């Protein structure tokens, strides 16, 4: 099974640029075209939040317009730049999403079970899941303790070392970690938010954050570092799962590069 992941496209209304500088809509379109052009068609696409920049209906209309060309299914969770009610309305035809409250879900129709968690706190930028959400998560895992499972949430549940992003991380991941450590069939936890690739061993499994299809947040670790970003190179992640060998994650750069050449 090939599972693609795109995160943080920050789509804008038609004709508007992200931060007044970046054509995030074009870059998201190019990311989707990149997936469609792979030599193996993805079985599923996971979008790990910040689909839009301001949570405006016009932005969600543009997201749906861009996604309409896909010929494989996709699952969505919100990020801190999404607005829960507008998000819910925009994806009202996605039956796996709850009709009220946080957008937690379980997609169990393929060889790998996907559990989506809504780690957003309305009106704020940091991440959290309330006790009711954690109870739902435990009960969901208990329904099948053997099937390979991927968890997706927007906020990485650890410190990145980038001070201006760590202010808005998942602030208290200990209760979530307690739930996850109770189960041994969690293959990966996938996140976005930091616009960078990061890996961390956590809660008995691996957390993997996806780069943005739009901008890369600068890797600065000084405590007084000012927020900065770069344009490109954009990338997505490809998670290849095989029953005999488990899961392997590949970084896939989006764009045109020299080659291919006849050597490996």
Per-residue pLDDT of the chain (264 residues; tens, 9 = 90+): 999 999 999 999 999 999 999 999 999 999 999 999 999 999 999 999 999 999 999 999 999 999 998 999 999 999 999 999 999 999 999 999 999 999 999 999 999 999 999 999 999 999 999 999 999 999 999 999 999 999 999 999 999 999 999 999 999 999 999 999 999 999 999 999 999 999 999 999 999 999 999 999 999 999 999 999 999 789 999 999 999 999 999 999 999 999 999 999
The number of angstroms, rounded, from the C-alpha of 15 to the middle of its chain's C-alpha atoms is 25
What is the pLDDT, as a whole number, of residue 232?
79
Q: Which of 103, 107, 200, 92 is nearest to 153 (CA)?
A: 103
CB atoms within 10 A of CB 134: 17
Based on the structure, what is the number of domains in the chain? Answer: 1
Structure tokens at 158: 């650890």
Q: Which of 53, 5, 8, 28 is nearest to 151 (CA)?
A: 5
In a domain, 264, yes or no: no
What are φ and ψ of residue 47, in 5° steps? -110, 110
Q: Which residues 6+ apart lie within 8 Å of 163 measured at CB?
A: 220, 221, 222, 223, 224, 225
What is the pLDDT, as a whole number, of residue 49?
97
Computed on alpha carbons and rounded to an integer, the radius of gyration of the chain in Å comes to 18
What is the pLDDT, as a whole number, of residue 109?
94
Structure tokens at 197: 């690739």
In a domain, 117, yes or no: yes
Q: What is the pTM of this model?
A: 0.97
Q: What is the CATH number of the domain that holds 181?
A: 3.60.21.10
- Print burial letters for 55-86: b (CB count within 10 Å at least 16), e (below 16): bbeebbebbeebbeeeeeebbbbbbbbbbbeb
The whole domain housing 207 covers: 2-253
In a domain, 45, yes or no: yes
In a domain, 62, yes or no: yes
Structure tokens at 141: 């895992």
Q: Which of 97, 28, 35 is nearest to 64 (CA)?
A: 28
In a domain, 160, yes or no: yes
Structure tokens at 163: 């001070």
CB atoms within 10 A of CB 14: 11
104 in Cβ contact with 137 (< 8 Å) = yes
The 3-state DSSP class for residue 31 equals helix
CB atoms within 10 A of CB 122: 10
Local structure of residue 7 (DSSP, 8 states): B
What is the pLDDT, as a whole number, of residue 233?
87
The 3-state DSSP class for residue 58 equals helix
In a domain, 258, yes or no: no
In a domain, 14, yes or no: yes
CA distance between the termini of the chain: 24
In a domain, 259, yes or no: no
Quote the crossing angle between the two packed helices 57-67 and 24-36, to the nearest 10°: 20
> How far apart (Å, rounded) are the C-alpha atoms in residues 242 and 188?
14
């Amino acid at each position: 099974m090939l599972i693609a992941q795109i995160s943080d496209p920050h789509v804008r209304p038609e004709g508007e640029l992200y931060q007044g500088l970046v054509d995030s809509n074009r870059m998201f379109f190019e990311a989707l075209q990149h997936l469609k052009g792979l030599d193996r068609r993805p079985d599923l696409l996971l979008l790990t939040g910040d689909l839009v920049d301001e949570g405006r209906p016009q932005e969600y209309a543009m997201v749906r317009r861009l996604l309409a060309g896909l010929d494989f299914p996709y699952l969505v969770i919100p990020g801190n730049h999404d607005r829960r009610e507008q998000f819910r309305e925009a994806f009202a035809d996605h039956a796996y999403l709850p009709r009220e409250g946080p957008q937690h879900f379980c997609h169990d129709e393929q060889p790998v079970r996907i559990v989506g968690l809504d780690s957003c706190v309305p009106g704020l930028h940091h991440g959290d899941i309330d006790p009711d959400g954690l109870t739902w998560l435990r009960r969901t895992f208990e329904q099948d303790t053997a099937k390979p499972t991927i968890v997706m949430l927007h906020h990485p549940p650890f410190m990145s070392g980038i001070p201006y992003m760590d202010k808005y991380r998942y602030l208290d991941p200990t209760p979530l970690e307690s739930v996850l450590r109770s189960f041994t069939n969690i293959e990966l936890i996938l996140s976005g938010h930091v616009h960078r690739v990061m890996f961390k061993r956590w809660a008995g499994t691996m957390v993997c954050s996806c780069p943005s299809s739009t901008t890369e947040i600068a890797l600065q670790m000084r405590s007084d570092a000012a927020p900065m970003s770069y344009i490109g190179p954009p990338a997505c992640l490809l998670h290849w799962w095989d029953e005999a060998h488990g899961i392997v994650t590949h970084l896939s750069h989006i764009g045109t590069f020299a080659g291919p050449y006849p050597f490996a």
